[in-house]
Structure 1
């Protein structure tokens, strides 16, 4: 609407000047007796020249109207691009005014323009040789705007370490804003003549990866399972498309894995890489695995074992549930636990099933789901379906209420990846509680706090008010009854 208002003035003025040009005989007849033939001819020249210039003004306004964007944002949050790229619109306006000047010379002053063009061609050639690099950048910018390989707001990687969001595309250069806020100005000729990566096209989600080198003694499937579970828990990594792990190379120092993930925010790519590597190192550390080091390093390394006593003890020491147990008791429980392998998509436990054991996650990632009922508007009945509650990662435990009270499983726990868990049964815990009954009170308090947190999280997801806290005394009574204390 504003562009149409700006176009109104030149069109109105052009109509007035066109009327004066059309009425030139009548004007000559009335002006020449008063001002003389010289001033009357000068007036004709001024009116005709002004008409051509105003026509060029109107043409430039029309180009601006066609080039104006629709305004607003695209569905992905990026600003909508203009209909005609800015550089192309500037070039069209330049030609419109240039054509108006030539028309004035040819039709108003009746001067031959072919000689002028030939003479100016020599000057242009000399000037072009002196400014060849700048001219190359200008024409590269025009080509980039016509092909439109990137737009304002896109994230580009021009070379390793040179990444930023496109902030401006002008006649000579493209300006990027890096994730640290600094501006990177790159001549258009360099951009057009080199390979670059557009992370924002064809869609905002793009894939990146981090290399991780592990010893050859680590089984490949186990390494992939640990690294995949780390990416699924890292902040900023999209769950769909699903991340994956590839064997990138086999080197004298170990096996190089490429942990590939998808993200949709180029501004946070460094933070997402950091989250992936941090989670990977944490998962490897819990599994007793260290990144590979050069073989020239002669320091003694701990042997990489698939199932060690230290790993079992570490898994039991991580949850707060076993804080009240002494080292001897933790050692006894670690020895009693047995390993369970669960394939991706398999259920460790199902909601409603009977059980008297808990599980500690050694490797892999699990989703916790509960069944919910909701009114069905079609027939007034009810429909049921799973609701995602939380995601569990290595070191977390689940099933503790069934272990301590014998109640049915309150949720389904589904493996997102191939996983390894260790199961601790009631028969393993019973001798310790009989020997130290005071542990039951501590366990009841911890379980009451845990149940209160889980219930509050579930109610937040459903948009309901927070529930009342779980009473530890009620849990303690059930625990003592279940174990016969």
Structure 2
């Protein structure tokens, strides 16, 4: 009899164990099916928006699958109720995540170009989480929320003191959003003088990217305490001010003209509103001027300031103006000028003139022409002369190279020639009074001798051959320009006939005798 009872108990245990294993297998299978179904539905919903399920979905899917499988295979178990509470909270967060991705990220930002600040989206998500937890505690566990808050008052005070900086940052971020102080994409002028673009505004800090492509974050509480300078409000146009000191001997109007000339064609500077120059102060060794230009793209600030300062150096050099400095001791100052820029001081310029179209001049005549003419320095990329502008001088290249550009028959810009040392340009305007027929730009730093009408007129009387040579050069350039406008390749042009040279020589003599 005892042996029979023992066999019965063994058989009963086997039946119970087999039933439990079957339940577990069914629960696991049901959970996997639920996860796959949720994943398929999420992918189907997020596909039009180009989004993918994230960590919130993974957690919610696992919680919902565990609760659903447990409720089906192990109904009435205590742990199933706890899993259900977690699943409800996770489901609420999943619902908000789907709304955030489909409505705010996809519909508002992409279709309507309306940006909802990250901090507001995070605060709404926190509110949804808090509401879900409160609902589960109230309806699921029959707990009074007010009682829990009252009994944990001391702990809340302790936590509040410990998290006061964090809370201040959250309040600061909410204040930034409500006052519209700045938004993602705006450029800010920071207290240290740097300009930085707003890349993200979250619940704790603002992430910025400066002109050096360095990303950094500033706590929201620190930003709202200081002065916020938004370069994009009320419009993208904003002024940039730069100060320069010029010699007391320079008349203010001449100084202002030189500074304004240096801003022409500088990248980033707007033509409207126009740049302005103000006389700010009389310093110890210089008169201080302030240049105000207008920009639209703050990311070009460093490049724009560099180009203005660079162009101003060349402009002041050409006008024989200098930037003074305090002198403490009396000493003999030697010019710190590169050798190739100091050619005008010796006879090297006359040697350059002995070749090319001016080769018929004697050494004394060449030196005299150098003394009467003007030595000019232009920086890389500067336009020395421009097409269709008035001109009354020609230039001889003493050092460096220039590029000559014009227009073909269709109006497209073409490069006509590259000229080097000893070659000249601008002779057409000097000899005939016509407007410039091409634009000439410096390729690197270039040193030029400017020859004016008054400098050349006496030489035509002394050296009649010079008129013939200039006429030949003029006709050669005329033919080259005509070829280029029709699609020709070379600016050197064809050779002029004898009759053509004689006709141009007469025209030159008539123009210079007028």
**Could you say which TM-score interval applies, normalised by the shorter chain?**
0.5 to 0.7
Residue aligning to 2:493: 471
In 2, distance between residues paired with 1:328 and 1:313?
A: 16
In 1, distance between residues paired with 2:386 and 2:307?
A: 29
1:221 positional shift: 0.5
1:127 positional shift: 1.8
Residue aligning to 1:62: 99
1:347-362 → structure 2 map (5 Å cutoff): 357-358=392-393
In structure 2, which of residues 418, 427, 431 is the aligned counterpart of residue 400 of structure 1? 427
Residue aligning to 1:437: 465
1:174 positional shift: 2.2
Residue aligning to 1:100: 132
8 Å CA contact 2:242, 2:291 repeated in 1: yes
In 2, distance between residues paired with 1:322 and 1:258?
A: 45
In 2, distance between residues paired with 1:372 and 1:293?
A: 49
Question: When the two structures are aligned, how many residues end up with a matched partner?
Answer: 397
Aligned with 2:277: secondary structure? strand
8 Å CA contact 2:181, 2:228 repeated in 1: no
8 Å CA contact 2:386, 2:438 repeated in 1: yes
In 1, distance between residues paired with 2:264 and 2:456?
A: 32
In 2, distance between residues paired with 1:230 and 1:352?
A: 18
1:470 positional shift: 5.1
**CA distance 1:222–1:322, change in 2 (3 Å):** farther
Gaps of 5+ in 2: 1-44, 65-70, 335-341, 375-384, 396-405, 416-423, 440-449
**CA distance 1:101–1:402, change in 2 (3 Å):** closer
8 Å CA contact 1:445, 1:472 repeated in 2: no
1:448 positional shift: 5.2
In 2, distance between residues paired with 1:275 and 1:455?
A: 36
Aligned with 1:211: secondary structure? strand
Per-residue CA deviation, residues 170-207 of structure 1 (Å, 9 max, x unaligned), is 33222322322323332222222112433344444432
Aligned with 2:199: secondary structure? strand
In 1, distance between residues paired with 2:247 and 2:468?
A: 43
Relative to the length of structure 2, the TM-score reads 0.60
In 1, distance between residues paired with 2:115 and 2:480?
A: 56
Residue aligning to 1:24: none
In 2, distance between residues paired with 1:241 and 1:73?
A: 33
8 Å CA contact 2:206, 2:217 repeated in 1: yes
Aligned with 2:262: secondary structure? helix
In structure 2, which of residues 453, 464, 470 is the aligned counterpart of residue 425 of structure 1? 453
8 Å CA contact 2:275, 2:292 repeated in 1: yes
Per-residue CA deviation, residues 399-422 of structure 1 (Å, 9 max, x unaligned), is 631433x37446699xxxxxxxx9
In structure 2, which of residues 232, 239, 242 is the aligned counterpart of residue 210 of structure 1? 242
In 1, distance between residues paired with 2:143 and 2:109?
A: 49
1:468 positional shift: 5.5
1:39-58 → structure 2 map (5 Å cutoff): 39=77, 50-51=87-88, 53-58=90-95
Per-residue CA deviation, residues 323-377 of structure 1 (Å, 9 max, x unaligned), is 867674464586599xxxxxxxxxx999799x9x5378xxxxxxxxx99999xxx
**CA distance 1:441–1:152, change in 2 (3 Å):** farther
Residue aligning to 1:181: 213
Aligned with 2:197: secondary structure? strand
In 2, distance between residues paired with 1:94 and 1:233?
A: 52
1:225 positional shift: 0.5
* Structure (1 or 2) with the larger CA radius of gyration: 2
1:22-421 → structure 2 map (5 Å cutoff): 39=77, 50-51=87-88, 53-68=90-105, 83-294=115-326, 296=328, 298=330, 328-329=365-366, 331-332=368-369, 335=372, 357-358=392-393, 400-404=427-431, 406=432, 408-409=434-435
Aligned with 1:245: secondary structure? strand
1:123 positional shift: 2.1
Aligned with 1:242: secondary structure? coil
**CA distance 1:270–1:410, change in 2 (3 Å):** closer
Aligned with 1:241: secondary structure? coil
Cα RMSD (Å) of the superposition? 5.3
